[in-house]
Amino acid sequence: MLTELQTRKLVKYFSMYDADCSGCIEAENFEQIAKKLAARRNWSFRSPRYLTLVNQFEYDWKHLRAAADKSHNGQVNLEEWLSYYDGVLNDSDRYYQSLRTLMNLVLEAFDVNEDGKIREPEWGEFLSIFNVSPVYAPRVFPVIDTDSNGYLDRAGLMSLLDDFFHSDESDCAANQMFGPY
Ligand SMILES: [Ca+2]
Ligand SMILES: [Ca+2]
Ligand SMILES: [Ca+2]
């Protein structure tokens, strides 16, 4: 069972994918995110980076739809999303798979200077592509950069994501990693 706090965080995470604010996640929402990112980074729609991203998103969407769209209407609504994550959080293989997918996306698409580290401006880019105002980056980044070295590396990111999904502590730093929830 998801706790009230976990549910709030997952509602927030849902809203980051529902790019057209229709209240459901659809295939188009993944396309919209990919296109927004390509425009921001000046990737042409035929560039290998864009095509890799689109392939990954298509795979992610098919996986999500197959596992979560219980009503088979081609959309994942909030109830389906929460029930999907309730299952994922209780299945360590699927859970770590989904964490790794998200972490790889962040490092591949948002590590603009390719140093293997995510700094505050890069985190702001991530937020803005995922429908969260980048004004939150200067507020949340110092909190989630728990050792205050100015960046998140792979291990730091993994532990934050893990806390975001799992933690039921209201003062856990990772809760606010994607802005207000
Ligand atoms: Ca939508
Ligand atoms: Ca559905
Ligand atoms: Ca970087």
**What is the number of domains present in the chain?**
1
If you average pLDDT over residues 128-142, what whole number do you get? 96
Give the predicted TM-score (pTM) of the model.
0.94
What CATH number does residue 13 fall under?
A: 1.10.238.10
The number of angstroms, rounded, from the C-alpha of 67 to the middle of its chain's C-alpha atoms is: 18
Answer yes or no: is pLDDT of 108 > 90. Answer: no
Q: CA distances (Å), 43 to each of 11, 33, 58, 86, in order?
A: 30, 13, 18, 36
Answer yes or no: is pLDDT of 78 > 90. Answer: yes
Ligand sitting nearest the alpha carbon of 83: 2
Ligand sitting nearest the alpha carbon of 17: 1
State how far the Cα of 118 lies from the Cα of 155, in Å rounded to an integer. 11
Which of 101, 103, 109, 140 has the alpha carbon at shortest distance from 125?
109
- Residue type, position 5, single letter: L
Distance 155 CA to ligand 3 centre (A): 14
Domain with 51 in it: 6-176
Mean pLDDT of the chain: 95
Distance 180 CA to ligand 1 centre (A): 20
Please report whether residue 165 resides in a domain: yes
Please report whether residue 108 resides in a domain: yes
Ligand sitting nearest the alpha carbon of 23: 1
Residue 149 has what pLDDT? 96
CA angle 12, 161, 100 (to 5 degrees): 115
Reported as a single tens digit per residue, the pLDDT across 83-105 is: 999 999 999 999 999 899 899 88
Please report whether residue 1 resides in a domain: no
Please report whether residue 117 resides in a domain: yes
Please report whether residue 181 resides in a domain: no
Contact 45, 31 (CB under 8 A): no
- Residue type, position 85, single letter: Y
CA angle 101, 102, 105 (to 5 degrees): 90
- Residue type, position 81, single letter: W
Please report whether residue 145 resides in a domain: yes
- Backbone angles phi and psi of 102, in degrees to 5: -65, -40
State how far the Cα of 137 lies from the Cα of 123, in Å rounded to an integer. 6
- List b or e across 60-87, with b for residues whose CB sees 16 or more CB atoms inside 10 angstroms: bbeebbeebbeeeeebbbbebbbbbbee
